[in-house]
Amino acid sequence: MNTFKSLLTVLIVSVLYLSCSDAGSTSTSSEPATISIIGENSSTLNAMMAMKAEYEKKDSTVRLNYLPSDFKDALEKSNQDFSQGKGAYDVVLQYNFTLSPSVRNNYVYRISELTNTISQQDKQFEAQIFPALWQETGYYYINDLNPSAGNQMISYPYLGISMVLMYNKKLFEDPVNKSNYQAKFGKSLTVPTTWEDYYNVAAFFTNPAKKTYGVCIEGEDGAMLVAEWTNYLYGFNGKYLDKELGWQSAENTRLLINTPEALKALTYYKSLKPFNAGGYATVEQSAQLDIMLMGNTAMAIVWTDMLYSKLKSDKGFNPDFGFTTIPGSKSIVCGGAYFINKHSRQPEKAAQFVVDQLQPQNQIKLAKLGYCSPLKSTYADPEVNQLPYSEALYKSLDRGGMKLEAGPDAQIITEKISTYIQKVWFDKMSPADALNEAQLEITTARSKLYKDLKANVQ
């Protein structure tokens, strides 16, 4: 009985405490309006959250409620909210592959519908957005059932990221390494600018006895493996589909998986296996950087938005690593857009927030906190330029040329390609067989997808 009374007392106290706790509020007319922003927990969102107080001071009628979430949670919660029409999230920060379903199902505003009252001066940043980035992340078909009708602007990019070549300066600047490389290859040891040099440098630095390696490749199944693979595919002039932009895709768009270019790329990719550090299949973007930070791997192709949090400490940036564009003449251009929910209760305020975030002076402040800006002007700032990856990122976003899949078939292509690349890596299949199987499987799956799309128009 005493135990029961104790437990009952605890229960009553808990209920009293909880009923007094503030777990959210409904704003009345005198209280600020809350704009809820959901996105992936990342250094990007952390940088934006650091500027929250400044914005709320500027606009006292608004309170920002950031909801950093795990990637899958952010995606599923926002999708569920869109389809249920509850308007729990006003602004959704998502990557380019959500463009297609969000626009096609009429879940989000075209931002131009909400910025009519905003002055042209405040929209001058538009001229500074990297054109290729904007096209990839913020535009979509006017009518996806009739692609020839043209494209329309949906929203502004909230992020501009790419993959750059990270290299270990100590290894490259070591006089012994320089001398040995010169002797072996007849040329200076420099950070590679061609894929042939990339292979040679990777081979040169690999010495399993000394536990040094040439490269560290992300092999975790899914989007990250495919993103890194895309660098090699485009580097050998291959592509996934016969189209110009990542989100473009229709039933009759030609699939280009089992081409000679893709075969060369996959054969080359597999040839890097002896030089690879880490367990491949268990290495994702964070683990890849952790391996690089151990200091015995020469190079890795890394995401720029991971670098600030991994390399910055109280003492400044880790000086042991340098960054440059990946070999070849093309780079991935990737990011996401500000999606304003069609069921948002304050869409105009949400749009004002978005426009404010994109003001050049705010973009500079964000960039200094690790944010990868979609504006060219940001990278001209001296302090932003001091970030070790800044120049490489700018050049990558400027040259572009590579597309990550972002159409309705993006997930299908990503998961099938990832599966078959892993099979090749683990010697379960030859590159030629893998590409043929992938082509067949993706063709079947795409055909079914487009049938389902037609049958389930909302």
Partner 1 sequence: MIGRPWYSNYAKVILLVILAFMLAYLLPVKEVWYGRQAYNNLFTLEDDSLFVPLLRSTLFAFITSTCIVTFALILSLLLKGVTLASSHALLLSFLLFPILAGNVSTSFTFKLVLVYFPNAFQNNLTTFFTTGLIEAWQFGSLFIYVFWLNQQVIEENRFQFAKAAGFTLFETIRDILLPAQKGLYLLLYIFCFLTCFYEEAKFGFIFKSSRGNGTEPIGQWLQRLFDSSSYVNPNFAFRVICVAALIILAGAVLGLVVIVSIKFLLFGRLLRTRLAFSFVRPTQNYSPILAWLLVLTVLTPVVITLCSKLVVWHVNVKPMLTPLLLTLAAALLATGLALLYSVAARMVWRKMLSGLNNKSIWFIGILLLLLLIPPLVILLVGFKWMALIAYNSPVVVHVFWMISQVILSFPVLAVFAIAAHFRVRNSTINFCAVHATRSLEKIRDIFWGALRMDYLFLLILAFSTIWNEATINRVFSDTIPSFAVELKKVISGRGTNYTTGIQFLFISFTLSFLNIAIWNKIIRSIQKKGSKNEKIPSL
At 424, which amino acid appears? V
At 249, which amino acid appears? S
Span 278-307, contacts to partner 1 by CB under 8 A: 279, 281-282, 284-286, 303, 305-306
Q: How far apart are CA 145 and CA 103, in angstroms?
A: 12
Cβ atoms 236, 195 nearer than 8 A: yes
Does residue 343 belong to the site contacting partner 1 (CB under 8 A)?
A: no
Span 422-451, contacts to partner 1 by CB under 8 A: 422-423, 425-426, 428, 437, 440-441, 444-445, 448-449
Tell me, residue by residue from 184 to 203, as one string, x for binding to partner 1 by CB under 8 A and - for no binding.
--------------------
Does residue 22 belong to the site contacting partner 1 (CB under 8 A)?
A: yes
Q: How far is the CB of 206 from partner 1 (least distance, A)?
A: 18
Contacts of 388 (CB under 8 A, 6+ apart): 307, 311, 317, 321, 322, 323
State the pairing for strand pair 91-95/297-303. unpaired
Does residue 258 belong to the site contacting partner 1 (CB under 8 A)?
A: no
Question: Side by side, which strands form the sheet with 163-168?
Answer: 213-215, 297-303, 163-168, 321-324
Contacts of 453 (CB under 8 A, 6+ apart): 408
Cβ atoms 374, 129 nearer than 8 A: yes
93 sits in which H/E element? strand 91-95
Binder of partner 1 out of 255, 387, 420, 431 (CB under 8 A) = 420
Helix, strand, coil abundance in the chain, percent, nearest 5? 50, 15, 35
* Size, binding site for partner 1 by CB under 8 A: 81
Tell me, residue by residue from 211 to 250, as one string, x for binding to partner 1 by CB under 8 A and - for no binding.
---------xxx----------------------------
Q: How far apart are CA 424 and CA 427, in angstroms?
A: 5
Q: How far is the CB of 86 from partner 1 (least distance, A)?
A: 6
The residue (of 88 and 153) whose beta carbon lies closer to partner 1 is 88
Binder of partner 1 out of 6, 54, 61, 76 (CB under 8 A) = 76
Binder of partner 1 out of 151, 309, 359, 436 (CB under 8 A) = 309
Does residue 318 belong to the site contacting partner 1 (CB under 8 A)?
A: no
Span 78-117, contacts to partner 1 by CB under 8 A: 79-80, 82-84, 86, 88, 100-101, 105
Does residue 52 belong to the site contacting partner 1 (CB under 8 A)?
A: no
At 237, which amino acid appears? N
